[in-house]
Amino acid sequence: MARIDELRLMTKVARMYYEQGLRQTEIMERLNMSQSTISRLLKRAEKEGIVRISVTVPSGAHPDLEEALQHRYKVKEAIVVDSIEDDEQIVRDLGAAAAYYVETTLKPNDVVGISSWSAALLSMVDSMQPNSRANGIRVLQILGGVGNPGAEVHATHLTRRFANLVGGRATLLPAPGVVGSGEARRVLLKDRYVREAMAMMDTVTLALVGIGSVEPSRMLAASGNVFSASELQMLRAKGAVGDICLHFFDAGGRPVVTPLDERVIGAELKQLRGVTRVVGVAGGSRKIAAIRGALAGNLINVLLTDANTARQLVDSRREELAVAGGRKTSRL
């Protein structure tokens, strides 16, 4: 137990710092002490119970869910937004949260890869404010954006407007996301501009991706960058639960390899694994299996999702761990 003289000094320093708002250097000058002594006294004031720090969680924030997702799925960060069970509202809320995330974490000289045909990412761009604090930003379209004339404007808008907002330089991928054959893909890859964009894939430091279910979204379906009903059925039969950049994976996050991969022009799953930050922006009950698979396979390491989806992801992971623990016990 500290002596009364020490407790008195701790109290004085704590009041000056926490109540009067003085900086440690100002306290040091007033009390003729070193800054290291001031810092030590503040830490001891916490241990002695003189200072008690509490965090009041505001309505709409879900730190417990975020920490549970981070712990159970081993992601760098989870961001959970409050939203109602409505797909369009979830998209808007996720877009706003993703915009803030990018604005606050973008670093100088980042190479940002952004996927086409994601409603949440389009909403993100529409929610962003101009931000030129980070210099030398490059923005790369990592999935082919050419499609039906009425829809392909989305991909161009997404990439170019994002680049303008962050004061960066855009590189488009002037090709469809899905072509009719492997031969057509090989021909397009010979194009100078397509080749240059594909060569940049390995330099991406921040990837912003949507997570799709096997059933294509309305935006993707409207773009024309989709597989046929029979091809989607084949993917389901092989265990596919979702896709990132039109490359499909199963419930464990393992790639579902089919001849369809030879028709996709964009970043591959193995390339994304090498990216420092892969941010998946997705939510809604329709995408639960896809998001869970992406997390299980470490295909993303930052997740932005809605609260209802986060709860289901945490609960399902808890059940999986309980079943696995039961199996282990039964073997002993």
Q: What's the pLDDT at 85?
A: 87
Cβ-count burial 212-243 (b if 16+ within 10 Å, e if not): bbbebbebbebbbbbbeeeebebbeeeebbbb
pTM over 0.75: yes
Q: How far, in Å, are 4, 29, 295 from residue 47 at the CA level?
A: 15, 25, 38
Q: Tell the burial category of 268 from Cβ atoms under 10 Å away from its Cβ (0-12, 13-18, 19+).
A: middle
Q: What is residue 325's predicted lDDT score, i.e. its pLDDT? A: 58
Pairing of strands 169-171, 206-210: unpaired
Tell me the angle at which helices 35-47 and 24-31 cross, rounded to the nearest 10 degrees: 110
Structure tokens at 3: 């002596």
Strand partners for 38:
none
pLDDT value, residue 324: 57
Determine the Cα–Cα distance for residues 97 and 128; give it in Å rounded to an integer: 10
Give the pLDDT confidence score for residue 4 in this predicted structure: 86
DSSP-derived letter for residue 211 is -
Segments of the chain scoring below 50 in pLDDT: 1
Residue 317 is predicted with a pLDDT of 65
What six digits make up the tokens of 152? 């392909």
Q: What is the dihedral of CA 281, 173, 182, 224, to 10 degrees?
A: 60
Query: What's the rounded Cα separation, in Å, for the pair 235 and 227?
Result: 10
Cα–Cα distance for residue pair 9/274, rounded to 1 Å: 52
CA distance 142 to 323: 38
Structural domains of the chain, ranges and CATH numbers in brackets: 4-47 (1.10.10.60), 63-321 (3.40.50.1360)
